[in-house]
Structure 1
Amino acid sequence: MKHLEQAGKRVLVLLFVVMMFPAGMVSADMDTNSPVKILLKIKDLNTTLDAVDSFVESGPKPSAMLRGMIQGTDWIDPVRAIVLGVDMSGEKPSATLLIPYLVENEDFQATFGAQSREDYYIMSVPPGAATPISEKVEQTLVLSSATAPNNAISVEVAVGALLSESRDKIDAMVGGLEEKMAGLQGQSAPAGEVDFNEIADGLIATFGQLKSMTFGVDISSDELNFATETAAEDQTDLSRLFSEAGNTSRFNHYTPKGHLTYKTRSFDMDTMMGLIVSAFGKAYDAMGFNVTELSRIAFNFTGEAAGSVSYDTESMKIEGIHVLKKDAEANDFVEKVYLPWIDNYGNALAGIYKDNSDTDPGEVFTRLPDIAIDGIKVYGMKLRIIAGAAPNDGQSAGKPVMTEAVFYVTTIGDMVLTAPSQNRMAELITIAKSTTVQPDSGPLVVYEMDMDGYFEYMRQMIPDSGAVFANMPPLGKLVSTMNVGGGRAFTSTRMRTDFIKQMIAMAGQQNSGPVPDESPEPVTPRPKPESAKPAAASRPAEPAVKDANYWIDKGNLVSTYGNDISAVRFYAEALKKDPMNSSAYFNMGVSYGELEEFDKALDAINRAIELNPANSNYYYARGRVYLMAGNTAKADNDFRTAVEMGNTDAKAYLERTEK
């Protein structure tokens, strides 16, 4: 394994470990002193579920199972938020759920083992977890529930505090994952090649400037909106980047053409590139990419720009107008700065690829003859970009897959123009000459993606894609915006829901075809609880007499949703009513097995067999407990006994495992 692949994979492990701690976006106003560092909030669950259900125009609704599981939503307070908080301060993360209610729902409380307060339920997650809920955690959730989120669903994380508190865990995880990766590769990392502590320091120092973030989703009948809000710590580079931006634009009348288009006002380019180098410079260095060299060219620009990128089956098309800083030498910029940079950088990338793949990608950068348009010197060039490696077909495996970009570059005043053809360059020159600086109160950044055009390109690139791309419904545009102000950054990405509806309908039609004849991997299914009843969407009336069957049904219900601790308690109530009830013993044994209390599980199932030795399910269940406990000989004996008695589950299991 060559240096790039070794270092690259290990660096990606580090990036994953550091980034997984603030994963999900952070709340811009979280109490960073609370032990809860991650909050999931749901506003008006019923309305949100109705919106999700609207995506499916026919057939079962996606929310049906959830509504049944929680026994409807009419009892939940729609004004206050449902809140899930994650406390990362212990050895393992612990999660706590708060659900505000209008009226008590005793069935929900019993099913999930929730604790009832004055007007809300609170419980550990997963249900039945014996994790104590601290007063500070509960207070945080109560206050958070009372503050309705801006979005239907939001995830809030205190990034800086979380990274600070988790540094020891990050270091341990990085070390552990790197050792495992080195073991999988059959070798250790070359000494001195990569300083992972240095890389981690850069990442944490940069992302530690984040005070908080919020990631939100709004769902309506016609649009999905994904939004983020990020707050930086005061007096930091990130805070300055999120506070300073230009308020004018000269591109209000320039409409770029392409699959992906962008427009930006000016911003603090120096600070942004400094943060990128600080966060990712060492990581990219370890992979062989000099991000500092990239920043050197970026420092010449103000950030104000407009342009596009498009693809076809043979090439990539790039166009744009980018504004230079006043101190940049615009007249000589292309010849003295841009061309040497792109030549050196392109050939450096080619050398890295050659060193690490034993394959020569050929010449990456080629100058084309210079031309003149309207008396203006225009520089032509061709850049061959490595798009990936060929599949392992025995002949071309590992060889680079290249895509070509021919483009022309020139300057008009303080603007650098890039175009994919001479004709388009002539049009851009005319546009650039007519630009005027105007006030602009719109978003700092606007990205638009022509989804229809992009998927048409994908269809052409993958001829065997069949109906996947050929039958795509109209997708429209994916529009993303970004704004900054007051030390905060705001983003929004919108897409049409009618596209999602059509995709779901198309997937449903494809899934209705013949089922492929493929056997699943051998598994040992959990025996079905006897007399199990599905949860109802509305709460049934309480029976006049709570006999053994009533408590068995209660136990079966909560065990279906994973709360085996409460299930055992309900089965014990059933045995108080009927001490000779084999079904109660059987189901109690199954739940003890799920809790990995195998001795208690075997005692209960043995008692069930004593009371009803003719029930094959009991032998199958005991075999399953033996299997989980590691006694394969006794497990196999019980499975075969169950088969002799006609048990189809045991027969199916043995047939799969004996293939």
Structure 2
Amino acid sequence: MKTRFLLAWSFALAVILATGSVFPAWCQPNLEDMAIVRINDINEIFDIIDEWAAEANPGQAVTMPARAMMGGTDWIDPNRSAVAMVYMEGETPIVYGFIPFLRPSQNFQQMTQAQAGSDHYRIVYPPMGPMPGEVAAALEKESARKSKDSVFVRVPAKIYADQLEKNMAMMLDQAAMQSQGALSRQDMQEMMQGFLSLLNQLETMGMGVTLTRSKAAFSMEGKAIPGTQLAKALAAPPEGEARLANYKPDGPIQYRSRPYAVEPFMDMLAGSLGPFYKKLGVDFSCFDSIAREMTGEYAAGMSLDLDREEFILEGILCINDPAGGDVFISRMIQCSVDISKNNAQLANVPGGALYERTKDSKVAGLKVQGLKALVSQPDPATQKMRTNAMELRMASQDGFVFFANTDAKLQRVISKAKYLKPGKASGHFFTMDMDIGQFMEMAAKSDPSVKLPSGGLSVKMRATMDMGDGAMRMEMALDPNEIKSLASVFQGMAPGGPGRAMQGDVVMQPDDEMFQPDEAGSQYADAGEPAEPETDYAEPELTPEERLAREVAALVEKGNLSAMYGGPNAALKAYKKALELNPESPAAHFAAALAYAELKDYSLALKHTGKALEFSPDNPVYTYGKARILLLAGEEDAAMEAFVTAANSGSEDAQNYLDHLSMEP
């Protein structure tokens, strides 16, 4: 099995093995009906795979057999892609391959019976004579294209649509047996037809994988047929203003969307999936009319309370009518409640939810309306369904709809929004950032078997979506080095335990094994003093940069002590010496700013906070300090803006100050 996997990385064999399992059978050898496989810099991909594999098995080059079969890989041109076009004749994949080279490789040519060009090889598999000229030209054009992915597969969507239509009768029979009468065959057929109508609006579908030393990603792409509802829906979001550009919600999961044209998107959903929702008992027209009142812009943060087994949510969405927020919220709640009236059976369906309206209240002078979701899920202990309640509280003001789990959290969201400044609508259409490390820290608190590195675990995942010109691309990406850290945690929890961790990772051993004596005797001498080390330890020599950093830090600390016992003038002498050594030290600039503020020289204080933020722009402590100094200087508007920026950057002091202001009459 391992050999087959390794050989699959040989390009000529990879496309053959992959297409046999990925692509349904069709027999239309026109260029527009062919699937395309593109691989960028296969030599680099192999190097990265070997590096990753060496973490677990040092000294092993897992790609060596594949490289040997290809006569090495350093002869392949890294600046052009290796490309294959594939179609099926019955059950046989027909492959046309194009491999660009820096220099010829006789071993590869002999192995694949490739036809040599001036700077590339052409492969036809199974061998059937020269490659058609139009195919060769298309392959050369594809090879020169720049790709975002290391490996990418693009398939005509018509293949899947035809396959779905061909197998629909069999799929309906299987679905009818599994539904046990909950939905009729006709109901399910209408639902499938809705999905098929959406699939028929796609021209191509694609999947990609990216492997670099700084990024590991999986992507999906789709391109709609021009003129279809789907093509109109996949329009680029407009440039201009984004009201929530500077809003940063709380939570290890954060997601946001730019403003976009909602109407074409809802037209597409209503036409394609309206019948599907109707059969589920959902009045799609109700949600359709509500969605059209949105600008498309929203931002939210989510966390997880493991003890209570519930999600914690906060966020803001934007609507078109600044004065229509209360009506918008009421209608949204009623649509959800109506689902429950029409689908009482959801109480016994895993993941199903029943909705009910909760009592109104008032927060920060705004009317608050509530919705409770009763989510059903199986209880492993009793094998019966149990219900978890999740409540959402909502209020509105000036085209903002605020939401959170409780009135207290809603208060914080409202106070954040009070001083929000709009920003530029730019970047990805949709972004979701997940701090997996924070989730692991939550898990470690409730599960002793989860052992995290002493310095914490930093693993961040980003999912993005972009669209425009009738095309869409979704990508999920992580840092490979962070994946290794996460893998070491899971290996420490796995059967075989910490001994299976990756080399170089520190994993805590069980308490009863941590200080067991070795064969040579106890780890501690009889007198209780630590045993002498076997070799002397010499502190490593500092680099000039490290030595400078230590000297500056010592002067700042000296200044801090002087400020406590000798006053700001004495402290400034030390801070100025620190800045003479390193004029770009943000810590020294900020310390000097506080000293000048105490002397009521606000101009110099703000000058130094500006310098501190210039060299450390994302430090919420410096931004909060700037806000306090601006307030002392009487610049209240600028101070409020700085408080909001600091709160959005994570300053609890700034957030507490804003909360206090919002509660004042």
Shared fold per TM-score greater than 0.5:
yes
Q: Any residues of structure 2 matched to 1:94-243 within 5 Å, and which? A: 94-111=94-111, 113-118=112-117, 119-123=119-123, 135=132, 138-139=135-136, 142-144=139-141, 146-163=143-160, 167=162, 169-179=163-173, 192-196=185-189, 198-227=190-219, 230-243=222-235
**SS at the partner of 2:318?**
strand
- 1:64 maps to a residue whose letter is M
Q: Any residues of structure 2 matched to 1:469-548 within 5 Å, and which? A: 474-503=457-486, 513=496
RMSD: 4.2
Q: Decide whether aligned partners of structure 1 residues 143 and 208 sit closer, same or farther in structure 2, where only a CA change above 3 A counts.
A: farther
| Post-superposition offset of 1:475 | 3.7
Q: Decide whether aligned partners of structure 1 residues 238 and 188 sit closer, same or farther in structure 2, where only a CA change above 3 A counts.
A: closer
Tell whether 2:361 aligns with 1:371.
yes
| Post-superposition offset of 1:428 | 1.9
Q: Could you tell me how far apart the structure 2 residues matched to 1:494 and 1:96 are? A: 31
Q: Which residue of 1 aligns with 2:385?
A: 399
Tell whether 2:447 aligns with 1:454.
no
Q: Which residue of 2 aligns with 1:423?
A: 408
**SS at the partner of 1:257?**
coil
| Post-superposition offset of 1:21 | 13
**SS at the partner of 1:382?**
strand
**Residues 314 and 403 in structure 2, CA contact (< 8 A), matched pair in contact too:** yes
Q: Could you tell me how far apart the structure 2 residues matched to 1:286 and 1:363 are? A: 17
Q: Which residue of 2 aligns with 1:594?
A: none
**Residues 43 and 82 in structure 1, CA contact (< 8 A), matched pair in contact too:** yes
Q: Decide whether aligned partners of structure 1 residues 355 and 492 sit closer, same or farther in structure 2, where only a CA change above 3 A counts.
A: closer
Q: Any residues of structure 2 matched to 1:240-389 within 5 Å, and which? A: 240-246=232-238, 247-287=240-280, 291-313=284-306, 314=308, 315-326=310-321, 329-335=324-330, 337-349=331-343, 351-354=344-347, 364-365=355-356, 367-368=358-359, 370-386=360-376, 388-389=377-378
Q: Which residue of 1 aligns with 2:511?
A: none
The higher-RCO structure (CA 8 Å, 6+ apart) is: 1
Q: Could you tell me how far apart the structure 2 residues matched to 1:133 and 1:191 are? A: 54
**Residues 326 and 395 in structure 2, CA contact (< 8 A), matched pair in contact too:** no
**Residues 390 and 397 in structure 1, CA contact (< 8 A), matched pair in contact too:** yes
Q: Could you tell me how far apart the structure 2 residues matched to 1:240 and 1:324 are? A: 21
**SS at the partner of 1:502?**
helix
Q: Deviations over 1:335-361 (max 9, x none)?
A: 3x1332232234545x1324769x9x9
| Post-superposition offset of 1:250 | 1.2
Q: Could you tell me how far apart the structure 1 residues matched to 2:474 and 2:40 are? A: 20
Q: Could you tell me how far apart the structure 2 residues matched to 1:283 and 1:132 are? A: 50
Q: Could you tell me how far apart the structure 1 residues matched to 2:496 and 2:436 are? A: 28
Q: Could you tell me how far apart the structure 1 residues matched to 2:132 and 2:217 are? A: 35
**Residues 85 and 141 in structure 1, CA contact (< 8 A), matched pair in contact too:** no
Q: Deviations over 1:594-635 (max 9, x none)?
A: xxxxxxxxxxxxxxxxxxxxxxxxxxxxxxxxxxxxxxxxxx
Q: Decide whether aligned partners of structure 1 residues 505 and 242 sit closer, same or farther in structure 2, where only a CA change above 3 A counts.
A: same
| Post-superposition offset of 1:417 | 1.0
List gaps (5 residues or longer) in structure 1.
Answer: 1-19, 25-30, 515-659
| Post-superposition offset of 1:161 | 4.6
**SS at the partner of 1:318?**
strand
Question: Which deviates more from structure 2 when the two are superposed, residues 256-265 or residues 268-277?
Answer: 268-277
| Post-superposition offset of 1:410 | 1.0
**SS at the partner of 2:312?**
strand
TM-score, normalised relative to structure 2: 0.60
Q: Could you tell me how far apart the structure 1 residues matched to 2:490 and 2:426 are? A: 42
**Residues 80 and 148 in structure 1, CA contact (< 8 A), matched pair in contact too:** yes
Q: Deviations over 1:301-344 (max 9, x none)?
A: 12111112222121222211111123983343333x13322322
Q: Any residues of structure 2 matched to 1:567-578 within 5 Å, and which? A: none
| Post-superposition offset of 1:411 | 1.0
Tell whether 2:424 aligns with 1:433.
no
Q: Could you tell me how far apart the structure 1 residues matched to 2:181 and 2:341 are? A: 30
Q: Could you tell me how far apart the structure 1 residues matched to 2:492 and 2:65 are? A: 22
List gaps (5 residues or longer) in structure 2.
Answer: 1-18, 498-665
**SS at the partner of 1:194?**
helix
**Residues 39 and 152 in structure 2, CA contact (< 8 A), matched pair in contact too:** no
Q: Which residue of 2 aligns with 1:53?
A: 50
Q: Could you tell me how far apart the structure 1 residues matched to 2:450 and 2:285 are? A: 45
Q: Decide whether aligned partners of structure 1 residues 229 and 356 sit closer, same or farther in structure 2, where only a CA change above 3 A counts.
A: closer
**SS at the partner of 2:34?**
strand
Q: Decide whether aligned partners of structure 1 residues 91 and 452 sit closer, same or farther in structure 2, where only a CA change above 3 A counts.
A: same
Question: Which deviates more from structure 2 when the two are superposed, residues 467-476 or residues 261-270?
Answer: 467-476
Q: Any residues of structure 2 matched to 1:15-34 within 5 Å, and which? A: 34=31
**Residues 323 and 397 in structure 2, CA contact (< 8 A), matched pair in contact too:** no
Q: Could you tell me how far apart the structure 1 residues matched to 2:489 and 2:250 are? A: 30
TM-score, normalised relative to structure 1: 0.61
Q: Deviations over 1:139-163 (max 9, x none)?
A: 2663245314323524242544545
Q: Decide whether aligned partners of structure 1 residues 452 and 281 sit closer, same or farther in structure 2, where only a CA change above 3 A counts.
A: farther
Q: Could you tell me how far apart the structure 1 residues matched to 2:355 and 2:287 are? A: 17
- 2:303 maps to a residue whose letter is S
- 1:275 maps to a residue whose letter is M
Q: Deviations over 1:54-112 (max 9, x none)?
A: 3345422443342233231133233332123221575665444433344444444454x
Q: Decide whether aligned partners of structure 1 residues 471 and 299 sit closer, same or farther in structure 2, where only a CA change above 3 A counts.
A: farther
Q: Could you tell me how far apart the structure 2 residues matched to 1:179 and 1:362 are? A: 28
Report how many residues are paired: 469
**Residues 32 and 156 in structure 2, CA contact (< 8 A), matched pair in contact too:** no
Q: Could you tell me how far apart the structure 2 residues matched to 1:22 and 1:334 are? A: 48
